[in-house]
Amino acid sequence: MSSDADTSSGKGQHVAIKKPGELSTNQTAAGTSTLPIVDDSELSELVPITDTPATSPPVRLDALFPAYARANYDSQAKTRNDQLIEEVRQAYLGEGLALYIGAGVSMSLGLPSWNELINSLTVSMMSRQVNSAAQALETLTDAERAMALSTLLLAVKEQPPSQKPILMLARALKDQFGDELPQQVAAHLYGRLSSPTENVISWVMRLFNPKLPRPASSFTLPVSPLLNALVALIRPQRNVVGVQAIINYNYDDILEEKLRQESVPCLTVTSGKQKLTRGKVPSYHVHGVLPVQQYFSATGKSNRIDNGNFVFSEDEYHSEYADPYRWSNLTQIGMLGRHKGLFVGLSMQDPNLRRLIDVTHRQYPEVWNYAILQRATKAQNDDSKSIILRNLAEFVEENSFQKIGVKVIWVDDINTDVSSVLARIADLPVE
């Protein structure tokens, strides 16, 4: 492209420097125009030459976004939370509520997160696959073997996070363990809940060899303030419609065991073939279940665990997405369309869950769901850049969730703050 065309478009224009008394014109596509002409002495006055770059005063984010500064935003957030909690409370009292339970509840009891579970299973797989390591372990004493496996587990945890999706890693584990996968998952899921009388060596050895018998002493259910608050919320109250159903996305059934222990009637449901019992709150394990009592009562020769619709790896999740008439999908859609929902311990990032919520809300726009989510960072006593950016991100995320029919109740700590939210919904004293 010619320089004339560049000049006519406004690109590459320049100021011509002339000698005293000289006149200059520039030919352009639009015709002849005279450019401003300055001499050398005038140039330094127009464009001062300096070694120090010009500086501007810093722009404060709290001045640009006053609504998201700490004082303003915290006040608005509290008002919004109070309003949403009251909406859930009214649904709980007079309409009925569906309760959706995720990994955050299990983690409050000391169970591993999804990533921790995958890491632990990976170590177990590695200890089997590396022949040289396996042969070396066979020559060690129980104490030495436990120490070696613990060191290996720690090394895996310290590795940088894999760039591969976690479900791809889960699929590799499924391929390696085969039919033994549910028993392996149960061992690594409940390994931290070993009996108080069991020593560390026995626990580590059993963790990596699920066929070893469980300790003979009785198993004690773990507790947490969050679990206790959930039990109080689910417990039937006079003249209160209350929780009508539980959708449990966890493999563990500790919530149901705790309900039975507290004499709250409930039924663990793992397929559409089961008949519901009047007067019992159904707890649907749509991704399968590994009963904790069954695990601890199993022997070395009989380790089979009934797991229902066990969904663990990538291919199994693909099957969930692809089949709209699958029992798990129909169950979730039925609850989402029938009752307002409260999500506890879920990140709300599962694409299939979000799809089901979105589709159902389009059909039943009057039925809203509420999710208790933990903030990215705790509130600070200042208007730092990170706090204002966090508040902006929350606003954007709230709007995104509302598009699919979910209202967000923000908390600073999932383990402590959620209990008080649940107590307010159930009109119970806050512990």
Model pLDDT for residues 322-358, shown as the tens digit of each residue: 888 999 999 999 999 999 999 999 999 998 999 999 9
Torsions phi, psi for 16 (to 5 deg): -80, 145
Q: Would you state the structure tokens that stand for residue 172, as one six-digit string?
A: 């590799």
Q: Are residues 233 and 311 in the same domain?
A: yes
Q: Are residues 392 and 418 in the same domain?
A: yes
Q: How confident is the model at residue 55 (pLDDT cuts 50, 70, 90)?
A: low
Number of structural domains found in the chain? 3
pLDDT of residue 57: 61
In degrees, to the nearest 5, what angle opens at C-alpha 77 toward C-alphas 72 and 81?
A: 155
CA pair distance 123, 309, nearest whole angstrom:
26
Q: Are residues 137 and 72 in the same domain?
A: no
Q: What is the mean pLDDT of residues 317-323?
A: 86
Q: Are residues 155 and 260 in the same domain?
A: no
Q: What is the mean pLDDT of residues 246-256?
A: 97
pLDDT at 255 over 70: yes
List, in sequence order, every beta strand (DSSP E) within 172-300.
243-248, 266-269, 281-285
Give domain status of residue 213, yes or no: no
What one-character DSSP code corresponds to residue 163?
S
CATH number, position 398: 3.40.50.1220
Angle between helix axes 200-207 and 142-158 (nearest 10 degrees) is 60
Residue 58 burial class via C-beta count within 10 angstroms: exposed 0-12, middle 13-18, buried 19 and up = exposed
Report CA 296 to chain centroid distance, whole Å. 29
Give domain status of residue 362, yes or no: yes
pLDDT tens digits, one per residue of 128-143: 665 456 556 677 777 7
pLDDT tens digits, one per residue of 398-421: 999 999 999 999 999 887 899 999
Q: Are 403 and 355 in contact (CB under 8 A)?
A: no
The residue among 45, 40, 47, 46 whose CA lies nearest residue 20 is 40
Q: Are residues 228 and 275 in the same domain?
A: yes
Q: Are residues 33 and 167 in the same domain?
A: no
Give domain status of residue 58, yes or no: no
Q: Are residues 393 and 277 in the same domain?
A: yes
Q: Would you state the structure tokens that stand for residue 287, as one six-digit string?
A: 């991704």
pLDDT of residue 120: 83
CA pair distance 246, 97, nearest whole angstrom:
9
H or E element at residue 158: helix 142-158
What type of residue sits at position 288? Answer: G
pLDDT of residue 284: 98
Give domain status of residue 52, yes or no: no
Q: Are 404 and 361 in contact (CB under 8 A)?
A: yes
- What percent of the residues of the chain are helix, what percent strand, and what percent coil, each to the nearest 5? 50, 10, 40
pLDDT at 162 over 90: no
pLDDT of residue 322: 87
Give domain status of residue 215, yes or no: no
Give domain status of residue 129, yes or no: yes
Q: How confident is the model at residue 2 (pLDDT cuts 50, 70, 90)?
A: very low
Annotate 392-406 with DSSP letters as a single string: HHHHHHHHHHHHTTE
pLDDT of residue 26: 47
Domain boundary among 145, 173, 207: 207
Give domain status of residue 166, yes or no: yes
Which residue range is the domain that position 230 belongs to? 65-110+222-299+307-425
Q: Are residues 194 and 324 in the same domain?
A: no
Q: How confident is the model at residue 281 (pLDDT cuts 50, 70, 90)?
A: very high
The residue among 157, 154, 80 whose CA lies nearest residue 118 is 157
Categorise residue 10: left if φ over 0, alpha if ψ from -120 to 50, beta otherwise: left
Q: Would you state the structure tokens that stand for residue 216, as one six-digit string?
A: 């003979």
pLDDT tens digits, one per residue of 80-126: 999 999 999 999 999 999 999 999 999 999 999 998 898 888 877 77
Q: Are residues 185 and 36 in the same domain?
A: no
Give domain status of residue 57, yes or no: no
The residue among 112, 421, 53 whose CA lies nearest residue 251 is 112
pLDDT at 231 over 80: yes
| 64 vs 180 pLDDT, higher one | 180
Q: Are residues 99 and 119 in the same domain?
A: no
The residue among 162, 160, 152 whose CA lies nearest residue 125 is 152
CA pair distance 45, 48, nearest whole angstrom:
6
pLDDT of residue 92: 97
CA pair distance 301, 120, nearest whole angstrom:
23
The residue among 119, 88, 152 whose CA lies nearest residue 409 is 88
Q: Are residues 238 and 349 in the same domain?
A: yes
User: By three-state DSSP, how is residue 214 classified?
Assistant: coil
Q: Are residues 98 and 28 in the same domain?
A: no
Average pLDDT score over the chain: 80
pLDDT of residue 14: 47
pLDDT of residue 49: 53
pLDDT at 158 over 90: no
CA pair distance 278, 282, nearest whole angstrom:
9
Domain boundary among 173, 207, 241: 207
Domain boundary among 207, 233, 265: 207
Percent of the chain whose pLDDT exceeds 90: 44
